[in-house]
Amino acid sequence: MDWSEKVVLITGGTGSFGKKFTEIMLREYHPRKIIIYSRDELKQHQMRMSGFDHPSLRYFIGDVRDRDRLRRALHGVNIVVHAAALKQVPACEYNPMEAIKTNILGTSNVVEAALDAGVEKVLALSTDKAVNPVNLYGATKLAAEKLVIQSNAYAAGTATRFSCVRYGNVVGSRGSVVPVFLRQRSSGKLTITDERMTRFWISLEQGVRFVISCIQQMEGGEVFVPKIPSMRVMDLARAIAPQAQIEIIGIRPGEKIHEVLISEDEARHTVELEKMFVVQPAEAFWFGYQWQSRGRALPDGFRYASNTNDWWLSVEEIRRLIAPFEEAFAAGRLEG
């Protein structure tokens, strides 16, 4: 795939993922143009002032809720990375219609505008919260996934293809528990909702590189899931503040003890490769089934969950993983 001929638009482009994606794209892939599509002019200004001022960069103010604005923004675009979302679980619970408007209706607008503009590939970012959701955020991301994948039915006679990437918590990103623990460390006490809690973890750079790889490989209709390690939240607390007192405050509404990236039902039409799983579309009437010859089927009853994962991070590995965020926190540069 020749990125130098491609125009790429990323929704929610001023977020943690968008900035890292843009950084790697500019440094290594050199697309013809990258369009940062987001609704906050201040964040766009701050992003530009922090060094994202390349000749191939464009800043486009707009909301994914605005279909007409998206149609204008997608004119001449080849690839869309749909990263815009409301993702704070408590905020989504308290503002349910806002979450629905952005995460579901906004995704629908991206799909419709991409079809109208003849975009080649649309890759939407999802989350482990979308599997067997117990909170509104997860439910909106599940609906968004279904919208994206099923929209290949509309695209079958056109050039446009839709796929999703689904992965776990991103270490140190906005909404991550890492900045919370770093702030609490000075008090000598860290709060944890449940001592049994486990999570999938992936670094921001790993997430971005996985997305780029999936864009290059996607046929349309797949949900790509990387093989990533699990982490015990108690181990994370010990890595950040080994001397701190741990206070168990009880699980919050809409929170899971363990996360699932592939359910038992999805596993029946999932293919395992060396570094990822590919969830193929449940319906076989368009495309996305070319993966069966590239990997192996999963055993009956397989479930990819954070507590039954066979890849775990030790406290020392966690400590190395979060070292850059400790430095950023000390310098006042860590978002959270």
Q: What is the 3-state secondary structure (H, E, C) of the chain?
A: CCHHHCEEEEECCCCHHHHHHHHHHHHHHCCCEEEEEECCHHHHHHHHHCCCCCCCEEEEECCCCCHHHHHHHCCCCCEEEECCCCCCHHHHHHCHHHHHHHHHHHHHHHHHHHHHHCCCEEEEEEEHHHCCCCCHHHHHHHHHHHHHHHCHHHHCCCCCEEEEEEECEECCCCCCHHHHHHHHHCCCEEEECCCCCEEEEECHHHHHHHHHHHHHHCCCCCEEEECCCEEEHHHHHHHHCCCCEEEECCCCCCCCCCCEEECHHHHCCEEECCCEEEECCCCCCCCCCHHHHCCEECCCCCCEECCCCCCECCHHHHHHHHHHHHHHHHCCCCCC
Alpha-carbon radius of gyration of the chain = 20
> Which of 129, 141, 146, 189 is flagged as catalytic?
129
Rounded to whole angstroms, the Cα distance separating 290 from 324 reads 39
Tokens 């971005």 -> residue: 208
Whole-angstrom Cα distance, residue 149 to residue 220?
8
Active site residue 87: no
**Could you tell me the sign of the dihedral formed by the alpha carbons of 29, 31, 33, 38, in that order?**
negative
The catalytic residue positions are 129
